[in-house]
Chain A
Amino acid sequence: MEQKDILEKLTQKHPGAIKGSMDRFGVLEIQVERAKIAEAVKTLRDDVELDFDMLIDLVSIDYSTFAGWTGDRFAVAYILKSLAKGHRIQLKVPVPEGEPAVPSISSLYANADWLEREAFDQMGVRFSGHPNLKRILNHHEFVGHALRKDYPITRRQWLSANESLMDEMEVRLKAKGWE
């Protein structure tokens, strides 16, 4: 399916959500409003012609040191690809500073769970509706968000004691029927 057809179809289904689009090295990037991202991704996944069944990556971006930037401080970028059709697309959601919360797509793609946890851990972007939004790479006593531009990269923080991973394990055991 052609890139512009994808954009057209998405704009038809979600008229207010699309804020703009641009071409990034042959891949179409669509700017989507923060509140509507989950619906837009659901359409992209479920529509028979669009058929984006793979979430390739979910990254968070900090624009605070970007020269000449006037928009929101953060952005979350989603890269989706269709296995059967072969096309790929990038979605970008601007996220303002303050209490930014992006609707989570972890119910749509299984890998979004950890990808969103990483975006939260490193950049501080919150995802509403996420089953277990806690740090994934840094330890639980870490204060701050490490990949923000204003976090000094060499500020180290000691951990006094590991936290148990039983919270995630218990959920999984319950899901499999082990009480």
Chain B
Amino acid sequence: MGMTGEGFPAITTRKDAVIAWGRKNSLWPMPFGTACCAIEFMGVVSSVFDISRFGAELVRFSPRQSDLLLVAGTVTFKQAPILKQIYEQMCEPKWVISMGVCASAGGFYNNYCTVQGIDQIIPVDVYISGCPPRPEAILEAVMKLQHKIDNPGQVPAAQFKAKEPTFDY
């Protein structure tokens, strides 16, 4: 086949698929826990909800040893440069999950000191709403991220698309 043959894309796509499989099943989270969502994260890593089923077992509290930044909690303007520095210290490939409404959009803190969503500071891959989100919601976010890693550049799959709400009143 050779490096420029017709079959070469078949090898690289297989290689990409294998690498993506490896990456998605070994997401090492770094919990950037600032507030109450961190407590819920503790529930997710515990035995009942068990995030290590998804490979996210090794919770590393160092950005240099992890690839998933899980921002759990409110980020204030005082904290914002710290978050940016932590994100920059992570190596590629890295992903960010914004957990809870405070990290996603400022939560119910519409005031002078809360950043209205961490996507104003760093790029976010998956947002989780909830105050705090259920552990199942966090697990679904990890699954969504795994799907995103498998399908780079694609619109999320139909199974994750929100259904249109039907109002009966």
Contact = CB atoms under 8 A, between A and B. Distances in A.
Interface of A: 137-139, 142, 146, 151, 153-162
Contacts of A151: 112
Nearest to B115: A156
Contact of A138 (B78, B82, B115): B78
Nearest to A139: B78
B111 A158 contact: no
B136 to A, nearest CB: 33
A156 B77 contact: yes
Q: Is the interface of A mostly helix, strand, loop or mixed?
A: loop
B123 interface: no
Contacts of A146: 112-113
Interface of B: 77-78, 80-82, 110-116
Given A139-B78, A162-B81, A154 B113 contact: no
A154 B111 CA distance: 4
Contacts of B111: 153-154
B15 to A, nearest CB: 42
A153 B81 CA distance: 22
A158 B112 contact: no
Among A154, A157, A159, A161, which residue has the most Cβ atoms of chain B within 10 A?
A159
Q: Is the interface of B mostly helix, strand, loop or mixed?
A: loop
B106 to A, nearest CB: 9
Nearest to A152: B112
A86 B111 CA distance: 38
Contacts of B116: 156
B77 A139 contact: yes
B81 A157 contact: no
A147 to B, nearest CB: 9
Given A155-B112, A162-B82, 14 more contacts: A138-B78, A139-B77, A139-B78, A146-B112, A146-B113, A153-B110, A153-B112, A154-B112, A156-B77, A156-B113, A156-B115, A156-B116, A158-B77, A159-B77
A142 B113 CA distance: 10
A26 to B, nearest CB: 33
A157 B114 CA distance: 9
A140 to B, nearest CB: 9
